[in-house]
């Protein structure tokens, strides 16, 4: 833990990729913190920069064409400035990561057990027998029946849900302080999704680790998160506690996300799910000012100026990037039936610049 009490502190992170089409600003000035023992939910649509930002924590986006600036402080160590050897010591050890598709994320040619043993032996001198014992214990912990036999099987012999459990067990091999879960349930059946989320929740409590849960699904956030970060176009547009985001959302994009949630406790208003009109912004030539401006029905003159991520709602921990006044927000976010949502735009949505 750093002197500030945060387990992880990301400050003004920028990840830019130089491509043939131009510089892709995948992450453009992102700051957030992760508290010990808590779950941070990061929500946003594809291309919002949530995965890139988190892979950058482990240095997985390092490449010849990548320019990474800012600071990622983990236990007084800056992971942006760390050399490859320093990063390697952190990866899979203090910070572990699991990914979206557990089938493609496991090596098809190696047994699940040997892939787990490898993760242990990358960080500590452990005999094969000790490592094996530890792995079987973990496979049991994540709820894989007949763990001794499963240890010696290949990934393709596992079902989707079992594979993700095995991935989680592999991530836990070195008792990480932080687990980054990048859409861990997206590729799974709905029935399995809930099981995996509950498993992560339970493990977090038992092992006392912190979790970053990356998802595009606010339903997942509601299930597991303590704090929430809403990302759009490479930046955070809103950050706050779970209650603040769900009951007092400040940013029109968050309203749109909440409005597109399926609610079973209310009658369906317009016999279809609401959606946010328009396309995600170009990361090469993002809109000037607020990135959500071209899709926002409430945009006005000032939105061409970039709003800072500031506390505007009265709570010190609740930050957003929207110029609208507090009274305006409370009024505009409520639909005709009292539900939170994004109103329909009156004029057609302009095509974001830089996109063909």
Q: Which residues bind other proteins (CB under 8 A)?
A: 55, 58, 60, 64, 84, 88-93, 96-97, 99, 101, 104-109, 118-119, 122-123, 154, 156-157, 167, 170
Q: What is 44-108 written as a DSSP string?
A: --TTSSHHHHHHHHTTTT--TTEEEEEEEEETTEETTT--HHHHHHHBTTTEEEE-S-HHHHS-T
Q: Which residues contact 298 (CB under 8 A, 6 or more apart)?
A: 252, 324, 328, 332, 343
Provide the minimum distance between the beta carbon of 64 and other proteins in the complex, in angstroms, as a whole number: 8
Q: How many Cβ atoms are within 10 Å of 131's Cβ, its own excluded?
A: 20
Provide the minimum distance between the beta carbon of 167 and other proteins in the complex, in angstroms, as a whole number: 8
**Three-state DSSP state, 11:** strand
- Given the complex with other proteins, which of 152 and 308 has the nearer CB atom? 152
- Given the complex with other proteins, which of 181 and 224 has the nearer CB atom? 181
* Alpha helix ranges (H) inside the chain: 50-57, 84-90, 102-105, 112-121, 128-141, 147-151, 160-171, 190-207, 218-224, 242-247, 252-259, 326-332
Provide the minimum distance between the beta carbon of 10 and other proteins in the complex, in angstroms, as a whole number: 18
- Given the complex with other proteins, which of 108 and 338 has the nearer CB atom? 108
- Given the complex with other proteins, which of 60 and 334 has the nearer CB atom? 60
- Given the complex with other proteins, which of 180 and 258 has the nearer CB atom? 180
Query: What are the φ and ψ backbone dihedral angles of 133, each rounded to 5 degrees?
Result: -60, -45
- Given the complex with other proteins, which of 99 and 253 has the nearer CB atom? 99
User: Is 42 within 8 Å of 61 (Cβ atoms)?
Assistant: no
Burial of 320 (0-12, 13-18, 19+ CB in 10 A): buried
Provide the minimum distance between the beta carbon of 38 and other proteins in the complex, in angstroms, as a whole number: 22
Strand order in the sheet with 22-34: 22-34, 8-19, 66-74, 77-78
Provide the minimum distance between the beta carbon of 65 and other proteins in the complex, in angstroms, as a whole number: 10
CA gap 143, 162 in Å, rounded: 9
Strand partners, 340: 334
Provide the minimum distance between the beta carbon of 116 and other proteins in the complex, in angstroms, as a whole number: 9
User: Is 209 within 8 Å of 40 (Cβ atoms)?
Assistant: no
Provide the minimum distance between the beta carbon of 2 and other proteins in the complex, in angstroms, as a whole number: 21
- Given the complex with other proteins, which of 88 and 269 has the nearer CB atom? 88
Strand order in the sheet with 319-320: 95-98, 178-182, 210-215, 39-43, 227-232, 235-241, 319-320, 310-311
- Given the complex with other proteins, which of 3 and 64 has the nearer CB atom? 64
Provide the minimum distance between the beta carbon of 92 and other proteins in the complex, in angstroms, as a whole number: 4
User: Is 138 within 8 Å of 172 (Cβ atoms)?
Assistant: yes
Provide the minimum distance between the beta carbon of 98 and other proteins in the complex, in angstroms, as a whole number: 8
- Given the complex with other proteins, which of 57 and 225 has the nearer CB atom? 57
């Amino acid at each position: 833990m750093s002197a500030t009490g945060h387990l992880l502190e990301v400050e003004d992170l920028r990840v830019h990729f130089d491509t043939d089409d131009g510089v892709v600003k995948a992450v453009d000035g992102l700051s957030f913190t992760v508290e010990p023992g808590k779950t941070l939910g990061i929500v946003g649509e594809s291309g919002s920069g949530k995965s890139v930002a988190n892979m950058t924590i482990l240095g997985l986006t390092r490449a010849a064409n990548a320019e990474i600036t800012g600071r990622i402080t983990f236990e007084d160590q800056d992971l942006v400035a760390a050399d490859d050897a320093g990063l390697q010591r952190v990866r899979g050890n203090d910070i572990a990561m699991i990914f979206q598709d557990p089938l493609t994320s496991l090596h098809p040619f190696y047994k699940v057990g040997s892939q787990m043993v490898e993760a242990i032996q990358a960080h500590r001198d452990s005999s094969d027998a000790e490592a094996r014992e530890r792995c079987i214990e973990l496979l049991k912990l994540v709820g894989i029946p007949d763990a001794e036999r499963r240890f010696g099987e290949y990934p393709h012999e596992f079902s989707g849900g079992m594979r993700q459990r095995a991935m989680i067990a592999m991530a836990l091999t070195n008792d990480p302080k932080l687990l980054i879960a990048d859409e861990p349930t997206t590729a799974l059946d709905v029935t399995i999704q809930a099981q995996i989320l509950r498993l992560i929740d339970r493990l977090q409590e038992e092992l006392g680790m912190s979790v970053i849960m990356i998802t595009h699904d606010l339903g997942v956030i509601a299930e597991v998160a303590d704090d929430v970060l809403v990302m759009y176009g490479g930046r955070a547009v809103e950050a706050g506690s779970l209650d603040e985001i769900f009951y007092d959302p400040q940013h029109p994009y968050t309203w749109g996300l909440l409005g597109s949630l399926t609610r079973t406790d209310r009658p369906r208003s317009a016999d279809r799910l609401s959606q946010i009109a328009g396309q995600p912004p170009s990361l090469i030539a993002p809109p000037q000012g607020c990135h959500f401006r071209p899709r926002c029905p409430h945009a006005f003159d000032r939105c061409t100026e970039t709003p800072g991520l500031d506390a505007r709602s009265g709570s010190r921990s609740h930050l957003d990037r929207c110029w609208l006044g507090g009274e305006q927000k409370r009024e505009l976010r409520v639909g005709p039936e009292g539900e939170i949502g994004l109103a329909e735009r009156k004029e057609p949505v302009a095509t974001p610049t830089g996109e063909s």
